[in-house]
Structures are given as C-alpha cells and as structure tokens.
Amino acid sequence: MDRTDRKILDHLVLNSRIAMSSLAKLVGMSAPSVAERVRHMEDSGIIKGFTVDLDYSKLGFSIEALVRIRPLPGQLHIVEKMIIEESRFTSCDKVTGEDCFVVRISAKNIQELDIIMDPFHERAATNTSIVKSSPIRNRQPK
C-alpha cells in the first residue's frame, strides 16, 4: 500500500461506483493502471466488496440507535442468535468489557424500538443510545 493506493481507497469509500477513468483523473494515473491497483487490492483482500450506503430515514426508519447488550449467565449464544435473526439490527460487534455486543439498529419509531428490544430484556441487560447524527461514517483510517 502506497500513497496512491490510499488516494484510490479514499475516493472509492466516497463513491464506489466511480468510473475507473474518473478515478484515474483524480489520482493522476491511467485508467488501466488504476483498474489494476483496484483489482490487486480486491485480490489481496483489502477491498472486500463494493456496497451501497443507504439513508435509512428515507426508507421509513426515523430512529437509529446503538445498543450495548450484556447477556445474562448462560444466555450468550441465545442472545447472539436473536441478534443475527433480527433484520433491523444493521451491524453488530462482539466486544470486550462489561458488554458482549454493541449493535446498531434502525426502527420506524420509539415504539418499534421498544418492540424489537423487549424480547432481549429477559435474556440480557441492555443500554440504548439514540443516534442524533453521525459526523463520521465509514472513514478510512490512516
């Protein structure tokens, strides 16, 4: 990975659908050279795929929340399965510390958030924080 690869990644993170010719102009290279670098980063696993960044609020999900989940004794695998099976969880990280999971959830409103979280309360302690805004999303670390 050199400075040019990082520039390519910076632009791909912002717009993964950018044409190789446009990307080449932005980084000062030929399109075939940029395409080869992108292909190399895919082959080496640096780029795992190209995705769409959805605006969940425009899909009717006006609430986004971060939930820390600490399963009760003996409930870890059951809680993990519940998380995986709930489609409104948009991400989940297993973490160290007091909690076992940190999840991101999208819901239509507070009532729906309560309905989603209610089954977890008999198997885990939860702590929910409503997301007000996300000043940084999916930024490439440097």
Q: Tens digits of per-residue pLDDT, 9-59?
A: 999 988 999 999 999 999 999 999 999 999 999 999 999 998 888 899 999
Domains of the chain: 3-43 (1.10.10.10), 56-130 (3.30.70.920)
φ/ψ of residue 125, rounded to 5:
-90, 140
Q: Say which residue the tokens 């940029």 belong to.
A: 34
Q: Is the pTM of this model over 0.75?
A: yes
Q: Say which residue the tokens 């948009």 belong to.
A: 90
Q: Tens digits of per-residue pLDDT, 76-111?
A: 999 999 999 999 999 999 999 999 999 999 999 999
